[in-house]
Structure 1
């Protein structure tokens, strides 16, 4: 469990996160800690105390999205229809990557790059639910049997990248998701 921060430390941390979120929204993905500290109006030492590396800052920014995704993946793994579970899981993963650049960066890498144990825990919980969804869908004959969880992860990340470089990422989400689902469905196009 994370120790409780003093009120002033918690304020500084939130100010750093808000400033970094604003920088990402403006398209600044570099998130240089010295610059974030200056823009947040806190000392550089304070910034590094909260976030020793840029990666730790990015993971803190991605935490809410990752928490939500883990909950959605658990929900998908409990859905009674295996194919609907796959759709729910992939839609949630794509939306997370499209709406949160910090999450997109974190999920595109492996656990060996995690700076914070909480991120690794989120990753493990998500992967366990995703594995359950994929295994059940493959046993039901809904998803290609030759598709591994790593394959699916790469396909979703690639689809998210393709959406992000387009003019209307969220507007094309359903089309790209349908193409992805048709491609992973076992033997015939997925139902609408």
Structure 2
């Protein structure tokens, strides 16, 4: 199974890996979600075989790019699960998640999928969904989220909101769209 753990690499191999990640990160920020391995290898000054040894699939590369942001999202989910006000903890987590996805397009790409390629990502994903589930359960119990909304529903909605924000180019869109979503999720009299 592919690993995201660079500590297992020799120093020169770790430098090459970081150079490829730097190139891939810049390409993602420029809007190139395809991340062609040939182009990344060329820009990083390495052979394509070296690139594929480090990142055997597109998904492994995305997960490596998103690793720090995913860890930050897990930390935000833990914080949200411990917030004494369930509605505030839920809203804070949604805002943090959207901010992270907008700051890191690789995170958004990784969260769009339900399966992961690397063990570390699987572990972080499991921890995220456990902590997020606790936040969601408390928010439901406190009326901030209507019954029947699942963690997977929210994953999809958040991916949709970040896509809408990116498509619009409007500076205030993120908060506005998120506010619409949060209000639509609230448990109101007569809602199901």
Q: TM (normalized to structure 2)?
A: 0.91
**Matches for 1:70-81 after TM superposition, within 5 Å:** 70-81=74-85
1:1-12 equivalences in 2 (<5 Å): 2=5, 3-12=7-16
- The residue number in structure 2 matching 1:184 is 185
| 3-state SS of paired residue (2:139) | helix
Q: What is the correspondence of 1:50-129 to structure 2 with a 5 Å cutoff?
A: 50-111=54-115, 114-129=116-131
- Alpha-carbon distance in structure 1 between the residues aligned to 2:82 and 2:47: 46
Measured at CA, do residues 26 and 149 of structure 1 come closer, stay the same or move farther in structure 2, by a change above 3 Å?
Answer: closer
Inter-partner Cα distance in structure 2 for 1:137 and 1:174:
20
Unaligned runs of 5+ residues in structure 1 are: none
Q: Which moved more, 1:74-83 or 1:134-143?
A: 134-143
Query: Displacement of 1:135 after TM fit?
Result: 0.5
Deviation at 1:127, TM superposition (A): 0.6
How many residues of Structure 1 are paired with residues of Structure 2 in the alignment?
A: 185
In structure 2, the residue matched to 1:150 is 152
Q: Deviations over 1:8-52 (max 9, x none)?
A: 101100000011111112222211111101110011121111111
Secondary structure at the aligned position of 1:103 is classed as helix
Distance 2:28 2:142 in 1: 41
2:172 corresponds in structure 1 to 171
Q: What is the CA–CA distance in structure 1 between the aligned matches of 2:132 and 2:22, rounded to whole Å?
A: 31
Deviations 1:103-147 (A, max 9, x none): 111001112xx2211111111111111100111111223321122
Q: Which runs of no fewer than 5 residues in structure 2 stay unpaired?
A: none
Q: What is the Cα deviation at residue 4 of structure 1?
A: 2.5
Of stretches 62-71 and 21-30 in structure 1, the one that deviates more from structure 2 is 21-30
Q: Secondary structure at the match of 1:186?
A: coil
Distance in 1, matches of 2:114 and 2:44, equals 30
Distance 1:176 1:78, change over 3 A: same
Q: Distance in 2 between matches of 1:22 and 1:68?
A: 20
Partner of 1:135: 137
For residues 123 and 16 of structure 1, the distance between their equivalents in structure 2, rounded to whole angstroms, comes to 24
